[in-house]
Structure 1
C-alpha cells in the first residue's frame, strides 16, 4: 500500500458498485468511506476493504466529507465517489509527482474521463473532457457546502495533469434512467433548498438553464451524435429544469395547500349531504 494520500468517498446506497470502487483505490493505506445511512448493503461491503467506515445521518448538503477529513491521516486528500475508478498508471504518475523533491504545488488537477449512460464523447457530450481539482493538500482545503463540489481550497499552486486516452480517473455515472432520475431529484431538490431569496433563486436557476441549452445546442452541438447525443443533451438540460421546478415549488408552489382546501371542501359537502338524508 502507498502512503501520503488519504482517499475519502461519501456514499449512499452504492452496494451495487462500491466493491469495484474500493478495489480500484486499494493502493492507498488510508481509505475512508463516509456512509450517509445507506439502506442497502453498502456499509457491509465497505467494511470488507477498510475499517474506516463512518456512519452519518443522511443529507445532501455537500459537506458530509468533513467527517472523513477529520480522520484522514495523510498530507494529501483525494476526494472521489463510488462512481469513480482510477487507472494504475495514473496512480504511479501521482505518486512520482508528490514525491519529487522540488514539487511545490498544493493542488493536483486530475484528468477526468466521464461516461454517462455508458457513453463518452469529449467533443459532443455536455459532460465532456474535464480536469478535477480533487487531490489537495490537507492544509489548504475545506469542505464545500455545494452539491457535487465536495472540497474547496484557497491555493493558487495548482498542477494540471495532462489527459490521455486511458490513464485517467474514470467517472462512470447514470447507468440507467432510474438511477439518473433518483439522483437528479435528490441533488436538485437540495440545491433549491439553499436559496432564501425568491428573486435571486429564479434569476440564478434561469441563467443556469439557459446556459445549459447553449452548452448542448450551440457549443457542443450534441445532436450531431444522433439519438445518443440528443439523449445526453436532454438529460443534461433536465438537471437544470428540475432545479428550476424545485425552486418554483419552494417559493410559489400551491399544490399542497390548494389540494388540502379542495379535499376539506368536498368532505364538508358530503357531510352536509349526509345530514340532509
Structure 2
C-alpha cells in the first residue's frame, strides 16, 4: 500500500499547529521541520506523533530537509496555516489507490506530482477574487521522481521527467479538485510583520539580480500595475471590504519591497 508522508514547516506556530496536525493525522507519517521555536510548537507536534527535527534555512532548504527525513512513497507538503479537508483526504487516497490498481486508467499515469487548489481566508473571510481562486499549489509528489526545491522565496519543485530534471514538472503535474483550506491572514499586524520579513528577501534577490535603479517612474508604474491587476483585472472589489483592503495592501507590500531595493541601491552609490 502506498505510504504518504506529510511535511510541515514551523516556527513559533503553537496556535496553528494543532489543527494542522489533526488535518493530516490520516497520513502514514508526519514530519515537522521546526526553525528553533521558542514556544510549545515542538512539544505539541511531538505529542501528536510527529517526527520533529530542528533546521534553519530558507524555504527551499527546509522543504528539502523534510523530504530527506520522510520515508513515504508520496510527499504531501502542508503549510502550518493550511488544513487538509476530509474531502481532499478522500480524493488523495482514492487517486493514489487507483494508480496502484493494474486495471485502473490511472495505473499508467505519467504524473510525477499533483497540484492542489486552495481556498484562501483573510480576516476569516474567503477571498474568491484578487487572484485567489483556484490558486493551485504543487504539494503532492512521488518521492522517487522528486529532485528537490529551488528558489529562496518563491520556491519551485523539481522532478525527473524522461531522465531529465525539470523545474515545475512541465506537463507531468496532475490537478486535484478538492481544495486545501488556507488561513492566510487573521489581522493586519500579522500581515505587516510578514511583509516586513519577506520584503527584505525579495529586495535582496532583486538587488542581486541587478534590477534597474528605482526612480519615480518605476515606482509609479509598479504601483499602478499592482493596483490594476488586483482591483480591476482580478476584481478584488467583488470580495467586498476585505477584498478591497487586501488589494490595496498588496500595492503597499509591493511598494515596501521596491523601497527596500531603492535603499540598497542608494547605499551602494555612496
TM value normalised by structure 1? 0.79
Local SS of the residue matching 2:29 = strand
Q: Larger deviation: 205-214 or 153-162? A: 205-214
Q: Could you say what the CA RMSD is over the residues aligned between the two structures, in angstroms?
A: 2.6
Q: Radius of gyration: which is bigger? A: 1
User: Given the alignment, which residue of 146, 149, 157 partners 2:172?
Assistant: 157
Equivalent residue, structure 1, for 2:208? 196
Q: Larger deviation: 171-180 or 47-56? A: 47-56
What is the CA distance between 1:125 and its match in structure 2?
3.0
What is the CA distance between 1:44 and its match in structure 2?
1.5
What does 1:186-225 correspond to in 2, within 5 Å? 186-194=197-205, 195-200=207-212, 210-225=224-239
What is the CA distance between 1:25 and its match in structure 2?
0.6
Equivalent residue, structure 1, for 2:246? 232
Equivalent residue, structure 1, for 2:188? 177
Query: CA distance change for structure 1 residues 242 and 95 in 2, over 3 Å: closer, same or farther?
Result: same
Query: CA distance change for structure 1 residues 184 and 60 in 2, over 3 Å: closer, same or farther?
Result: farther
| Deviation sequence 1:49-99 (CA, Å, 0-9, x none) | 134111113x44542112111111112111111110011121111111112
Query: CA distance change for structure 1 residues 235 and 60 in 2, over 3 Å: closer, same or farther?
Result: farther
Equivalent residue, structure 1, for 2:15? 16
Structure 2 stretches lacking a partner, 5+ long: 102-106, 160-165
What does 1:1-277 correspond to in 2, within 5 Å? 4-57=3-56, 59-60=57-58, 62-100=60-98, 101=101, 102-104=107-109, 105-122=111-128, 124-138=129-143, 139-149=145-155, 151-153=157-159, 154=166, 155=169, 156-162=171-177, 167-194=178-205, 195-200=207-212, 210-253=224-267
Local SS of the residue matching 2:125 = coil
Q: CA separation in 2, counterparts of 1:119 and 1:202?
A: 35
Q: Larger deviation: 170-179 or 232-241? A: 232-241
Q: Tell me which stretches of 4 or more aligned residues in structure 1 moved more than 6 Å.
A: 205-208
| Conservation of the 8 A alpha-carbon contact between 1:97 and 1:103 | no
What is the CA distance between 1:127 and its match in structure 2?
2.9
Q: CA separation in 2, counterparts of 1:83 and 1:211?
A: 29
What is the CA distance between 1:223 and its match in structure 2?
2.7
Q: CA separation in 2, counterparts of 1:50 and 1:193?
A: 38
| Deviation sequence 1:143-164 (CA, Å, 0-9, x none) | 22232436344233221123xx
Task: Number of aligned residue pairs: give it.
Answer: 247
Structure 1 stretches lacking a partner, 5+ long: 258-277
Query: CA distance change for structure 1 residues 49 and 3 in 2, over 3 Å: closer, same or farther?
Result: farther
TM value normalised by structure 2? 0.81
Local SS of the residue matching 1:50 = coil
